Structure 1
Amino acid sequence: MTIADRTSGKPEGSLADRAYEAIRADILDGVFQPDQPMRLEALKDRYGYSFSPIREALTRLAADRLVTQTSLRGFRVSRISLEEMWDILRTRVLVESEAFRLAIRNGDDAWEARVVAAFHSLSKCADPGAASPPERRVFEERHFAFHRALLDGSNSPTLLHLSDLLFVQSERYRRASLRTDLSRRSVVEEHEALKDAALSRNEAEAAALLCEHYTTTGHFIEAVMASRPTLVDADG
């Protein structure tokens, strides 16, 4: 049964939403390789949707910078490069550090409770490097929820929107690094330190820990990409 079979009768807009979510998940999980053509006929067969919702989904993914579109070559999965990866992470530090500071400054007791609950859920997940695909999906959902919880007390819709967009762009790099045995990180300890900084209302420590967390991630991804040079944009 295709995804479309399970969503028949849905309005066209919701079909495009579902196509977008399905294709995005496959790009982030490495099902499609960098620079791989995204041919409408093949995607129609894979997902069971008609051309219209698939084309709309690809257009949205182009806006997310996960695919590229040209008049002559159609849609392709965006290339990856070390330069782009570090640019995304540096920008995440800038955007999310400010949002984190604002959340610590403005967040109420309910915000603290959401952070604690999100961390508790994340800490119950299996090691993402050794998890099965279903377990990994649960981890990814809870990982995003925790990072979002840290920031959502900022009361800044613009910063939250930017952080969500940058999170997705960085996921292509981070998820690929989980499928290697180059190293194991203490994921729980790193996120617990962020949680504790939030609860202690220490803005400077929180920003420093967030920067360290993303920098450590960047160095690990860089090592992974060095071990898989065929995935890296030769021009980058």
Structure 2
Amino acid sequence: MRKLTDKTLPQAIFFVRENPMTEPSPPSLVQHAIRRLRQDILEGRMPPLHKLKIEVLRDAYGISSTPVREALTRLAQEGLVTNDLRRGFRVAPMSLDDFADIIRLRLIIESDALAVSIHQCTEAWQTKVRSSYEQLMITASMMNDGPSSTPKEWAEVHKSFHSAIISGCGSARQLEICDALYDQAERYVRLSARTRAIPRARGREHEMLYEAVLGKNLDVALPLFRQHLELTLRSIGDQLGNTEPLESPTLLEGSAL
């Protein structure tokens, strides 16, 4: 299976230096580093297998080595970074087999969280689902169909919607696993977004899922959720199986899952 590496996906690695005068307070430094690293990885500024040198990241983010090292360790636990005693920290590799495995695990773990959330159906959960769906549709209405219509705003509201529909499961540990798997999948989604020849029917897909979820119709909601992820797997698998798009350094600019 062909893996995506620095050679197959050349990228311009760049950072925006933080202003030392606006550096976060010490208790938030690790979270600040985690957020910046995760963003740089998901948005493709750091390609697969890119070596993550602590001193380079320290200077780029304008913080000390300790929070950078802690952030790298945390992202290694989440699967976005690898840590080898000899090679050090690197961005996790990518392959179609890996993406298929991520989707398989999401289908198992998120489907269970969704089923429990629907069964519990608390008022707070319903409010959260409604609010996230409204933001999703507002964002979708401002976007044009086509391979380039995948701004970062869509990625944010899309993740919020998927997080909301499973948020009522009552297990913080399960939700943490779901969040990590979502981010792992997001790298592949953003990679494929700019080369999508046929746009996904964003509005209708999510509308049907939303109605089934708030309608507490498990027999409809779970198959729709499975179909949603399996369609993503097929779509991205077809795209990444083509060698041409992998040569472009401008693929990673948003999500349209």
The two structures have a TM-score, normalised by structure 2, of 0.81
Which residue of structure 1 aligns with residue 154 of structure 2? Answer: 139
- Measured in 2, the distance between the counterparts of 1:9 and 1:40 equals 18
Higher helix proportion, which one?
A: 1
Decide which of 39, 48, 52 is 2:66's aligned counterpart: 52
Which residue of structure 2 aligns with residue 196 of structure 1? Answer: 211
| More divergent stretch after superposition (154-163 vs 97-106) | 154-163
Q: CA RMSD in A?
A: 2.2
Deviation at 1:131, TM superposition (A): 4.2
Deviation at 1:6, TM superposition (A): 5.6
Instruction: Give the share of equivalent positions with the same residue, in percent.
Output: 35
The two structures have a TM-score, normalised by structure 1, of 0.88
| More divergent stretch after superposition (115-124 vs 149-158) | 149-158
Taking the TM superposition and a 5 Å limit, the aligned residue runs for 1:1-236 are 2-3=17-18, 5=20, 7-8=22-23, 10-11=25-26, 13-125=27-139, 126-127=142-143, 129-131=147-149, 136-228=151-243
| More divergent stretch after superposition (49-58 vs 205-214) | 49-58
Pair 1:53–1:231, CA change in 2 (3 A):
farther
What is the identity, as a one-letter code, of the residue corresponding to 1:174? V
Pair 1:85–1:6, CA change in 2 (3 A):
farther
Q: Is the 8 A contact 1:16 1:53 kept in 2?
A: yes
What is the identity, as a one-letter code, of the residue corresponding to 1:8? E
- Measured in 2, the distance between the counterparts of 1:196 and 1:228 equals 38
Deviation at 1:2, TM superposition (A): 2.8
Deviation at 1:20, TM superposition (A): 0.9
Q: Is the 8 A contact 2:24 2:32 kept in 1?
A: no
Q: Is the 8 A contact 1:34 1:231 kept in 2?
A: no
Q: Is the 8 A contact 2:196 2:239 kept in 1?
A: no
* Unmatched segments (≥5 aa) in structure 2: 1-15, 248-257
Q: Is the 8 A contact 1:107 1:154 kept in 2?
A: no
